[in-house]
Amino acid sequence: MKVLVINSGSSSIKYQLLDMNTEEVLSKGLVERIGINGSRIVHRINGEKHILEEEIPDHEVGLKRVLELLTSEKYGVLKDLKEIDAVGHRVVHGGERFASSVKITDEVLKTIEALSFLAPLHNPANIMGIKSAMKLLPGVPQVGVFDTAFHQKMPAKAYLYAIPYEYYEKYKIRRYGFHGTSHRYVSKRAAEILGKPYNELKIITVHVGNGASVAAVNKGVSVDTSMGFTPLEGLVMGTRSGDIDPAIVEFLEKEEGLSAKEVVNILNKKSGVLGLTKGFSSDMRDIEDNAIEGDPVCRLAFDVYEYRIAKYIGAYAAAMNGVDAIVFTAGVGENSPIMREEIIENYLGYLGITIDKEANNIRGEEKIISTPDSKVVAMVVPTNEELMIARDTKEIIEKGLDELKL
C-alpha cells in the first residue's frame, strides 16, 4: 500500500510518499512560498535533491505539480497516480471533537472548518491541502491525523484553566496541547526500544525544535502537556515566550502603546531565545555555539531555555507520581548533546539519572544516553510524524474504519 502524507501550511506543502509494506520513503519534498514571489519545489528521490523554481499561485497548483513530479519520467517513483492508495493529512486542531485519527468525510471536513476559530492560522491551511487532494485524487480515501488528538485524554484537572468556567463552556477555552503525533510516536518507540509494554510505562517526552513542548505519557495516555489553548504556552521556544504572567500583556499595552494583538504577536514572534538574545538568533545552533564560546547573553538564554525544560520534567514526574523514561526529540532534542547533558547533570540527579557522556555524543539516532545503573532511563528518539500519519492512514483504510482510537 502506498500512502501520500501531506502537511499543508499557509504558504507551503510538505509531502512524503511511503510504501507502507516496507515503510520506505519513496520520495519527499516541500512546495515553498505558495502565492509569493520566488515559489519553488524542493523534491527528493533516491537521496538526490532537485530544486524546481516555478510559479505556484495556490495550493491546488502546488499539489498538482507534486503529483506530476511523482509520476514523471525524470523525477518520478510512480507509473500512475492510481498507485496512491490513500492520503494522510496532518491537521493541527481537532478541538474536543477529535480524539482519534479519522477518515475524512464531508461531515469531518465541515467540523475541521468549524474548528478554525481555535487555530485560525493552521486549520484553514490544512483544509486547503485536503480539498486540493480530494479534487486531484478523486475516489482516493483521505485520512486526518490531528496534532491535538493524543492529548484529548488529559484529565479535566490538567486541561482546565482556573478562569471563570463559563469561558470554557462558551468558547472552549482550555488546554489542548500540540505536537501530539510526535509525542505519541516517540513514546511508543521508547517502549519498543526498552522492550517493555507501552501501557506499563511512565514516560516524559521532550519535543524541542522550533516549537517545543513536553508531555507526560502515563501508560500510553497523555495526561499533561506544556502547550495549552495555543502553542504559545509552556517552554521557551525559538521566538515564543512560553509561560509568562498574563498581566504583562496589559502592562505592555499601556507602557508601549500597543494593542493586545500586537503584544501577543511579540510574544509569538519576537520572544523566546530570539528575544532573550536581543534579536541575535532564534536558532539554537547559534545560541549554543556562542554560549560555548563564552558569550554571556547567549549563555543566559541557553540557561533559561534549559531551566524551563527541567522544571517541566520535574512537574510531570510529580503529575505521574514517578517516571521510567525521559525521551528527547525534534531538532534540538535530537541534535544537541550539550543541552541534554546540562539538563540531566544540573537538574535530574535527584531522579537517579546519570548521563553516559559517550553514549550521549550522538545526533539524530535512537540511543539510551543514561548509564545502565540509572533509576530512570534517558534516551534520544528521532521523531517521525509522517510515518505515524501514514501508519494511522494505512490502518484506517485496510480495516475499513471510520476512526482509529489512539
Q: Determine the residue with CB nearest ligand AMP.
A: 331
For residue 370, what is the DSSP state?
Answer: B
Consecutive H or E run containing 180: helix 180-194
Catalytic residue (one of 19, 58, 80, 147): 147
Residue 339 CB, shortest distance to ligand AMP, in Å, is: 7
**3-state DSSP percent of the chain in helix, strand and coil, to 5:** 40, 20, 35
Measured CA to CA, the distance from residue 303 to residue 309 in angstroms comes to 10
Query: Residue 283 annotated as binding?
Result: yes
Instruction: Please answer whether residues 127 and 142 qualify as being in contact, where contact means their C-beta atoms are separated by less than 8 angstroms.
Output: no
- Nearest alpha carbon to residue 211 among 86, 92, 349, 379: 92
Measured CA to CA, the distance from residue 150 to residue 164 in angstroms comes to 26
- The nearer residue to ligand AMP, 202 or 207, going by C-beta atoms, is 207
Q: Is 341 in the site for ligand AMP (CB under 6 A)?
A: no
For ligand AMP, which stretch binds (CB under 6 A), given 165-173, 284-292, 311-319, 348-356? 284-292
Grid coordinates given for 257: 502603546
- Please select the residue that binds ligand AMP; options are 85, 283, 395, 403, rule is CB under 6 A: 283
- Show contacts with ligand AMP in window 307-336 (CB under 6 A): 330-332, 335-336
Q: Is 62 in the site for ligand AMP (CB under 6 A)?
A: no
- 257 - beta bridge partners? none
For ligand AMP, which stretch binds (CB under 6 A), given 25-33, 120-128, 282-290, 297-305? 282-290
Measured CA to CA, the distance from residue 396 to residue 86 in angstroms comes to 10
Grid coordinates given for 57: 499561485
Q: Is 106 a catalytic residue?
A: no
The Cα-based distances of 355 to 246, 289, 343, 350, 379 in angstroms read 36, 21, 10, 13, 10
- The nearer residue to ligand AMP, 289 or 398, going by C-beta atoms, is 289
- Nearest alpha carbon to residue 396 among 52, 85, 34: 85
- Show contacts with ligand AMP in window 177-216 (CB under 6 A): 209-210
Grid coordinates given for 382: 528521532
Q: Is 272 in the site for ligand AMP (CB under 6 A)?
A: no
Residue 302 CB, shortest distance to ligand AMP, in Å, is: 10
- The nearer residue to ligand AMP, 25 or 223, going by C-beta atoms, is 25
Q: Is 385 in the site for ligand AMP (CB under 6 A)?
A: no
Residue 247 CB, shortest distance to ligand AMP, in Å, is: 30
- Show contacts with ligand AMP in window 212-251 (CB under 6 A): 238
Q: Is 147 in the site for ligand AMP (CB under 6 A)?
A: no
Query: Residue 207 annotated as binding?
Result: yes
Q: Is 284 in the site for ligand AMP (CB under 6 A)?
A: yes
Measured CA to CA, the distance from residue 35 to residue 9 in angstroms comes to 12
Instruction: Please answer whether residues 41 and 125 qualify as being in contact, where contact means their C-beta atoms are separated by less than 8 angstroms.
Output: no
Binding residues: 7, 14, 90, 207-211, 283-285, 331-335, 385
Q: Which residues are catalytic?
A: 147
Binding residues for ATP: 14, 207-211, 283-285, 331-335
Residues that bind ligand AMP (CB under 6 A): 209-210, 238, 283-285, 288, 330-332, 335-336
